[in-house]
Amino acid sequence: MNQEVQQQHYSNELTFADLISSVKSGIRYLKSKWLIILICALIGGLLALAYSFLKKPTYTSVSTFVLEESNPAGGLGQYSSLASLAGIDLGGGGGGIFQGDNILELYKSRLMLQKTLLSEYNFGIKRELLIDRYIEYNDLLEEWRKEDNINSISFQGDPSKFGRLQDSLVADIILKINNGMLAVTKLDKKLNIIKVEVTAKDELFAKEFNDKLVENVNNFYVLTKTKKTSQSIRVMQHQADSVRRVLNSSINGVAAAIDAAPNANPLLLTLRVPSQKKQIDVQASTAIYGEIVKNLEISKISLRQETPLIQLIDQPILPLEIHKAGKITSSLAGLFLGAFASILMLFIKNISKGL
């Protein structure tokens, strides 16, 4: 048994010695191939340097704004029961539609990105859609011509009437924007400061796309948060106008009934009936109108309370921040990758010979 253990230990020592020997042999082999490694490293460095010259710079536009949610119930507790008579809910309005990070996802939605892409902007001497500008500086039309035989495409008109081809191309562009161009983040989880970054090869496109996107999303956010109360206000305003017309008609009716019998005999009570009926209509319409107006004003107060505050802090201004591939950094990275690739290939070649 002891002899077997000693033989196993001796075998392990031989294996470790063989490993050391293989490493030394490999190092000697690489030293003998230093010229090949050097040439590959130089080729890698030159290719990386050429890439840094050929790669187009990118521009980043940045917008930051603060979003302050409101508390529509604050200060309106005494009016809650009164407002409920008119069907007004002062407890939350837009509620939790965009609570948490939902507004961040709204920036990446197809609705908002498509609306932004189909916005017009005056680029120098001509006014064109942002999507046309994107297609132009990315040479997408040439790519579509080769791959899909698309010689021309137009995105003018109503988006709801777009054909299958237009919708698919818009969806493809939106996917590219979400994957590499657009970044929407919160600077701090405890703060409501939102940062929107757009990175593109075209400086004017990056700036205008950022401006339009922030404008569209923030407007949509405010309209959606206040939509319920705004609809209630429109309905009550229509009711108030209708009751006011009825009240005016009743007042005119009272005057007309009195004018019809200016010197009525006090003993003939039937002569008073028409004017008294009109006066009852006036009193009822006055009470109804007063209640509707009161609820309408309460609803307007609620709308002001529900409207969130969105205050821009920073907007993109020209010139935008530019990003270029550093020539020295690219060259060093190319040297390292070229050397590493040559060493790996030499090792594989040496191992395959041994097999």
pLDDT digits over 151-204, tens only?
A: 888 898 888 888 899 999 999 999 999 998 999 888 777 777 889 999 988 888
Domain coverage including residue 292: 230-306
User: What's the confidence (pLDDT) of residue 19?
Assistant: 64
Q: What's the pLDDT band for 225 if we cut at 50, 70, 90? A: confident
The domain tally of the chain equals 3
User: What's the confidence (pLDDT) of residue 262?
Assistant: 61
Q: What's the pLDDT band for 94 if we cut at 50, 70, 90? A: very low
User: What's the confidence (pLDDT) of residue 114?
Assistant: 94
- Between 348 and 62, the more confident residue is 62
User: Ranked by mean pLDDT, which of 13-17, 224-228, 269-273 comes out on top?
Assistant: 224-228
Q: Are residues 38 and 120 in the same domain?
A: no
Q: What angle do CA 313, 315, 318 make, to 5 degrees?
A: 145
Nearest CA to 217 out of 139, 334, 105 is that of 105
Q: Are residues 144 and 159 in the same domain?
A: yes
Rounded distance, CA 341 to CA 102, Å?
A: 45
Q: What's the pLDDT band for 52 if we cut at 50, 70, 90? A: low
Task: Pick the range with the lowest mean pLDDT from 27-41, 66-80, 118-132.
Answer: 66-80
Rounded distance, CA 264 to CA 284, Å?
A: 25
Q: What's the pLDDT band for 343 if we cut at 50, 70, 90? A: confident
Q: Say if strands 321-323 and 58-68 run parallel, antiparallel, or are unpaired.
A: antiparallel
Q: Are residues 218 and 98 in the same domain?
A: yes
Nearest CA to 283 out of 252, 236, 251, 237 is that of 251
Q: Are residues 195 and 81 in the same domain?
A: yes
Q: What's the pLDDT band for 338 if we cut at 50, 70, 90? A: confident
Phi and psi angles of residue 209, each rounded to the nearest 5 degrees, phi first: -65, -40
- Between 349 and 184, the more confident residue is 184
> Of all helices (H) and strands (E), which one includes residue 141?
helix 140-148
Q: Are residues 268 and 200 in the same domain?
A: no
Q: Are residues 80 and 221 in the same domain?
A: yes
Rounded distance, CA 284 to CA 188, Å?
A: 57
Q: What angle do CA 44, 45, 46 make, to 5 degrees?
A: 95
Rounded distance, CA 324 to CA 107, Å?
A: 27
Q: Are residues 126 and 217 in the same domain?
A: yes
pTM strictly above 0.85: no
User: What's the confidence (pLDDT) of residue 321?
Assistant: 81
36 with 341: CB under 8 angstroms? no
101 with 191: CB under 8 angstroms? no
Q: Are residues 279 and 319 in the same domain?
A: no
Q: Are residues 110 and 240 in the same domain?
A: no
Q: Are residues 154 and 293 in the same domain?
A: no
Q: What is the mean pLDDT of residues 289-300?
A: 85
Q: In this structure, what token pair is assigned to residue 125?
A: 């001497």
Q: Are residues 49 and 128 in the same domain?
A: no
Task: Pick the range with the lowest mean pLDDT from 9-23, 180-194, 201-215, 322-336.
Answer: 9-23
* CA-based end-to-end distance of the chain: 35
Q: Are residues 19 and 44 in the same domain?
A: yes
Cα→Cα distances 256→94, 226, 232, Å: 48, 45, 36
pLDDT digits over 249-283, tens only?
A: 777 776 666 655 566 555 555 555 566 677 777 78
- Looking up tokens 């017009």, which residue turns up? 120
Q: In this structure, what token pair is assigned to residue 330?
A: 């690219």
> Does the N-terminal peptide bond of residue 319 adopt cis geometry, omega within 30 degrees of 0?
yes
Q: In this structure, what token pair is assigned to residue 335?
A: 């040297």
Residue 229 reports pLDDT greater than 60: yes
Instruction: Count CB neighbours of 299 within 10 A.
Output: 24
pLDDT digits over 233-249, tens only?
A: 888 888 888 888 888 87
